[in-house]
Amino acid sequence: MNALNIQKGMSSHSAYDLRDPHAQTEESHTLAIMVENEPGVLARVIGLFSGRGYNIDSLTVAEVDHAGHRSRITVVTRGTPSVIEQIKAQLGRIVVVHDVHDLTVEGPSVERELGLFKVQGQGDKRVEALRIAEIFRANVVDSTLESFVFELSGAPSKLDAFADLMRPLGLIDMARTGVAALARGA
């Protein structure tokens, strides 16, 4: 039966996806989920993840089309390729979910996150914190004699790096929005 060139494990929705479907390594994927903006819709999406044991690394949600009652949920999740496929299929089953886009495989995308960082310190440490903030192009949005609140947006890895540098300089509090993402191009 091999004359037909059909191999075990071939899948219809992987024509442009050359990853090994049997791979056991976990990958991080950013999913954009367009949903009907109605009460309980976020609970449905989150409940799916917890109920079926999937991971959520980050989640953002906001209405993006008031007239069309559409909200956009951006989820960063982790799993083996087959788990990611399953997550997308399960999301697609939810009656009020219109579309699920896997921005990680559908082409280049931009991912941005906003963070607020409170750094407490005096003397050299305070000067150093300000200097690093300038390198990162963070804004100072609050200042006292012994603290700053910095506002920084960028890729999540940039926020991670900033937090790592600020930690020895007196980082005492941090708030992050989670990832918002869009595909590049039109």
Partner 1 sequence: MSRMMTGARMVVEALRDQGVDTVFGYPGGAVLPIYDEIFQQNDITHVLVRHEQGAVHMAEGYARATGKPGVVLVTSGPGATNAVTGLTDALLDSIPLVVLSGQVPTFMIGTDGFQEADTVGITRPCTKHNWLVKDTDKLAETIHKGFHVATSGRPGPVLIDIPKDVQFATGSYAGPKQTDTGSYQPVRKGDLAQITRLVELIEQAERPIFYTGGGVINSGPAASQLLRELADATGFPVTSTLMGLGAYPASGKGWLGMLGMHGLYEANLAMHGCDLMINVGARFDDRITGRVADFSPGSIKAHIDIDPSSINKVIRADVPIIGDVGHVLEDVLKVWKSRGRKVNTAGLKQWWAQIEGWKAKNCLFYRPSDTIIKPQHALQRLEALTKGRDRYVTTEVGQHQMWAAQYLDFDEPNRWMTSGGLGTMGYGLPASIGVQMAHPDALVVNVAGDASWLMNMQEMGTAVQFRLPVKQFILNNERLGMVRQWQQLLHGERYSQSWSDSLPDFVKLAEAFGCKGAQVRDPADLDDAIQQMIDYDGPFILDVLVEKHENCFPMIPSGKPHNEMLLGEAETQGVIESEGAVLV
Cβ atoms < 10 Å from Cβ of 143: 11
Cα–Cα distance for residue pair 74/45, rounded to 1 Å = 11
Residue 185 in the binding site for partner 1 (CB under 8 A): no
Residue 44 in the binding site for partner 1 (CB under 8 A): yes
How far apart are CB 41 and partner 1 at their closest, in Å?
A: 10
84 vs 119 by CB, closer to partner 1 = 84
Residue 11 in the binding site for partner 1 (CB under 8 A): yes
Residue 43 in the binding site for partner 1 (CB under 8 A): yes
Show the tokens assigned to 118: 């409170």
125 half-sphere exposure, CB direction, 13 A CA radius: 15
Provide DSSP, 91-118: HHHSTTEEEEEETTTSS-EEEEEEEEEE
Residue 67 in the binding site for partner 1 (CB under 8 A): no
Residue 90 in the binding site for partner 1 (CB under 8 A): yes
94-123 mask for partner 1 (x: CB under 8 A)? Answer: xxx-x-------------------------
Residue 89 in the binding site for partner 1 (CB under 8 A): yes
8 vs 184 by CB, closer to partner 1 = 8
How far apart are CB 54 and partner 1 at their closest, in Å?
A: 12
> How far apart, in Å, are the Cα atoms of 44 and each of 39, 86, 137, 179?
10, 16, 38, 20
Residue 53 in the binding site for partner 1 (CB under 8 A): no
Identity of residue 142: D
CA dihedral 155, 159, 165, 168 (to 10 degrees): -170
Residues that bind partner 1 (CB under 8 A): 1, 3-4, 6-12, 21-22, 36, 39-40, 43-44, 47, 51, 82, 85-86, 89-90, 92-96, 98
